[in-house]
Amino acid sequence: MNKQDASAARRAAARTKPAIGFVAADTDEAQAALERLSRAHGQVPADEADIVVALGGDGLMLETLHRFIGRQVPIFGMNCGSIGFLLNEYREDGLADRLAAAQPVTLHPLRMTVRTVDGREEQALAINEVSLLRETRQAAKLSISIDGVERLEELICDGVLVSTPAGSTAYNLSAHGPIVPLGTGVLALTPISAFRPRRWRGALLRHTATVRFDVREPKKRPVSAVADYTEVRDVARVEVCEDRGVELRLLFDPEHNLEERILKEQFVG
Total-model pTM: 0.86
In this prediction, residue 71 has a pLDDT band, given cuts at 50, 70 and 90, of confident
Q: What percent of the chain has pLDDT over 70?
A: 94
Greatest alpha-carbon pair distance for the chain in Å reads 82
Q: What is the CATH number of the domain that holds 14?
A: 3.40.50.10330
The Cα–Cα gap between 187 and 242 comes to 9
pLDDT at residue 83, as a whole number = 73
My answer on whether 162 and 256 are in the same domain is no
In this prediction, residue 13 has a pLDDT band, given cuts at 50, 70 and 90, of very low
Under DSSP, the state recorded for 68 is T
My answer on whether 115 and 218 are in the same domain is yes
How many C-beta neighbours within 10 Å does residue 115 have? 18
How many C-beta neighbours within 10 Å does residue 55 have? 26
- Residue 166 structural domain: 110-242
Q: Of the residues 26, 58, 158, 243, which is catalytic?
A: 58
My answer on whether 257 and 234 are in the same domain is no
In this prediction, residue 112 has a pLDDT band, given cuts at 50, 70 and 90, of very high
pLDDT of 216 higher than 70: yes
My answer on whether 144 and 196 are in the same domain is yes
pLDDT of 10 higher than 50: no
My answer on whether 210 and 169 are in the same domain is yes
DSSP reduced 3-state for 115: strand
Look at residues 80, 100, 83 and name the one whose alpha carbon lies nearest to residue 91: 80
Domain count, the chain: 2
pLDDT of 196 higher than 80: yes
Residue 5 is among the residues annotated as catalytic for this protein: no
My answer on whether 167 and 210 are in the same domain is yes
Taking all residues of the chain, what is their mean pLDDT, rounded to a whole number? 91
pLDDT at residue 268, as a whole number = 74
Look at residues 171, 169, 92 and name the one whose alpha carbon lies nearest to residue 131: 171
Q: Taking CA 106 as the corner, what is the angle to CA 181 and CA 92, rounded to the nearest 5 degrees?
A: 95
My answer on whether 99 and 190 are in the same domain is no
